[in-house]
Structure 1
Amino acid sequence: KHAIKPNLVQTLENNPALIHGGPFANIAHGCNSILATKLSMWLSEYTVTEAGFGADLGAEKFFDIKCRKAGIRPNAVVIVATVRALKLHGNVPLKDLTKPNVEALDKGVENLKKHIENIHRFGLPVVVAINHFTSDTPEEIQFIKDKCAYLSVKIVTANHWAEGGAGAEELAHAVVDVVENTKTDFSLLYPDTCTLWQKVGIICREIYGATDVLADKKLRDKFHQLQE
C-alpha cells in the first residue's frame, strides 16, 4: 500500500529529491512516475527530472509517453555531455580517452549536434552541460562550444563532480535564464491517431535518421495484433 507513495530523500547537501520508479528507457519508458513529478511541480518553483538515457531514446519517450499522458509541458532540456564520451563516439579507444584529441572530438560532436536537433524538433530550448573531468582541456571544451554555436544553445561546463552543488551553479543560472526568457513551442512527435506501425516509422525517421523501416509479414502481423 506504500508503493504508490513517492519517496522523499535528501541529497548530500540536504536538498529534497523525490524518488519513485524510474526504469531505464531501453526496457521501459525511462522516467519516474507522473505522481512524483506533479508533486514536485506543486511543491517547488522549478522541477528537474531525469529522462534517460539519451536525448533520443529517453527524451523521446519522456515527451511522447509521459508528457502526453500527464499533460506536462517542459520548459527546457539539459543535455549532459562529456569530452570523453564524444571522443569515444569519434572512435578513440577507451585507454586513450584522457588524451587530447580534437580530430576525434570533431567526429563525436556530430552525435551531440543530432541530440540537440532532436530536442529542437519538439520545440524546446536546450542547455548543454559538459560534465567536466580532470583530463578535459580548455581547448577541447572551447572546440565543442564553437562547433555547436550555430545551433543557438547555451553550453556550460559543470563541475559538480568535484565541487558539489557549487560546481553546478552556472548551469542552474543558465537553465533559469533560458526558461524565463525563451518562448517554447512544445509539440509531440506524432498524434494519438497514428497506428503503432506509423509511430515506429515516425520515430525512426525523425529521431534516428532512418530513411525507411522494413519488416517481414510476421512482424507486421504482430503489430496489427497489438493494434487490435
Structure 2
Amino acid sequence: MSTSRLSGRRVLVTGAGKGIGRETVRRLVADGAEVVALSRQASDLQSLAGETGCGTIAVDLANLEEAADAVTQALPFDCLVNNAGITSLQSALETSMAQFSAVLAVNTLAPLRLAQIVAGDLVRRGEGGAIVNLSSIAASVGLADHAAYCASKAALDALTRVLAVELGPHRIRTNSVNPTVTLTPMGQLAWSDPAKAGPMLARIPLGRFCEPGDVAGVISFLLSDDAAMLNGITINVDGGLLIS
C-alpha cells in the first residue's frame, strides 16, 4: 500500500536491478521517495525506470572509482541503501585470494566508499539522513562454502557500527538489515540443492525463506522517521532462525 512517509527524500539504492534491490526501489517509490537505482545491468534499470519512474545509474561497483564518480555526480541524496552484493561458493581451503578480494570489494569496500560520498555530502550541507546496509545472517553464523561471503558481511556489520558512532552526531543514522536465505536469483543459486536448503529451512520457526518484499519493508522503515532512534543495530529478518 502506498504511503508518504518518505516524501521529500532522495534515496540511492545499489544493486537495484534484481531481487531485494529491485523490490526495495518499488517499495520506496510507493512510500513517496525519489529513488535513484544503481545497477551494472542497463537493461534491468531501463525496465525498472519504466515501471517506477526512478532515476538510474548504470555502473559496476567492482569498478569502484568509476562508480564513485557516477554517484558524486548524482548528489545530493538524503539516504543510501547499500544493497549490492555478490558471492563466490568456495570452501575456505579452496577460496582463491582473487575471489575473496572480489567479494570483499563489492560487499564491504563499495558500501564504505559510497557512505563516504553520500554522508560526506550530508555533513557538508548540515543535513541529517540515513544509511541502510544489506548484510546477512551469514555475518553471525558459519556457512559451508561461504568463506568470502560470511567474512564480507561480518565486516559490513562492523562498518555499520562504526558509521553509526561517527555519523550519529551529524544526525545520520546507519543500520544493517540481515536476512536469512532470500528467494532472489543469487539466493536461489546458492540454495537450489534441497539437501542443503532443507536443514536450513527446518531451523526457521516461520517455516519459509525470505521474499524480497519482506526485506524491502524493513529497509523503508529504517529510512523513515518511524526509526528515528534506531542507530547502529542489525535487524535479523530470518523468521526466528537465529533464536531456534
Larger radius of gyration: 1
Q: Which structure features the higher share of strand residues?
A: 2
Q: RCO greater where, 1 or 2, for CA within 8 Å and sep 6 or more?
A: 2
Q: Normalising by structure 1, what TM-score?
A: 0.43
Q: Normalising by structure 2, what TM-score?
A: 0.41
